[in-house]
Amino acid sequence: METADTADTVKSFHSFAEFYPFYLGEHSNRTCRRLHFVGSSLGLVCLAAALWTGQLSLILLGLLFGYAFAWIGHFGFEKNKPASFKRPLYSFMGDWAMYRDIWLGRIPF
């Protein structure tokens, strides 16, 4: 679980490059990473469907999928709070950087 020290650490980052190693440490559980990957993939499918059909409500569904899968991973498997509660922009960027790194084989799936 998050401690006061962890909360202070999350707030102290001055760049995404500083934040990303911390982000990866918060995603050490393989099931949590897999849930993030599935949620992000479903989010991309919803975005593509929204662009294809013009139904913009699908974008909201994609966001719901992305966050629901990630939060299940954190609370159920990683046993920590998502960093998005403290650093939402860096966390969003971290989700996509980790997604890319999983596709490239840099992070085990």
The answer to pTM > 0.85 is yes
Q: How many residues does the chain have?
A: 109
Alpha-carbon span 10 to 84, nearest angstrom: 10
Under 8 Å between Cβ of 46 and 61: yes
Alpha-carbon span 33 to 52, nearest angstrom: 28
Which pair of structure tokens corresponds to residue 69?
């899968």
**What string of pLDDT tens digits covers the 109 residues of the chain?**
545 455 556 668 999 999 999 999 999 999 999 999 999 999 999 999 999 999 999 999 999 999 999 999 999 999 998 888 889 999 999 999 999 999 999 999 9
